[in-house]
Amino acid sequence: MEIHDLNGTACWDFLGARRLGRLGCARDNKPYIVPIGFAMRNPYLVAFTTFGQKIDYLRANPSACVQFDEINSPQSWTSVIAYGQFEELLDAQGQDEAHRALESAAWWEPGYVKTTILGHLRPADPVYFRIFVEEISGRRGANI
């Protein structure tokens, strides 16, 4: 297997075809990972979620990473990781822009208000946010 580094342009190109990322955050040096759909707006990764542990962590420590990959086999894969800062979108304009970015990324879930957990309607507590990417790197492994 040969492993190649991807430069910044190649990393963003790879992200352009992705939606699903794994968002990583940490609190008191305890890591947490959650899968989330993103819209790519270089240098931002835009997302939407409802309140939960990840937002709790990210409000306390905005240092985040998002990992994207395409893994065909242990010998054939691409993985990209973006590091950056969590920025919550609180004003109506920012939320509207995020909404439209996610809609065009075809990952938008308008039915979230109907989500139920254990039979109880999930509180509609939408959180729009973006990760300001400060550093991005990637690798690709392929058979030789």
Inter-residue contact 1 to 78 (CB < 8 Å): no
Listed in sequence order, the residues at least 6 apart from 96 whose beta carbon sits closer than 8 Å to its beta carbon are: none
Listed in sequence order, the residues at least 6 apart from 55 whose beta carbon sits closer than 8 Å to its beta carbon are: 49, 88, 127, 129
Is residue 17 part of the contact set for its own copies (CB under 8 A)?
no
Stretch that binds its own copies, among 8-16, 88-96, 107-115, 123-131 (CB under 8 A): 107-115
Is residue 30 part of the contact set for its own copies (CB under 8 A)?
yes
The footprint of its own copies (CB under 8 A) covers 1-5, 20, 22, 24-35, 37, 61, 63-65, 67, 69, 71, 74-75, 77, 79, 81, 83, 107, 109, 111-112, 114-118, 122, 141, 144
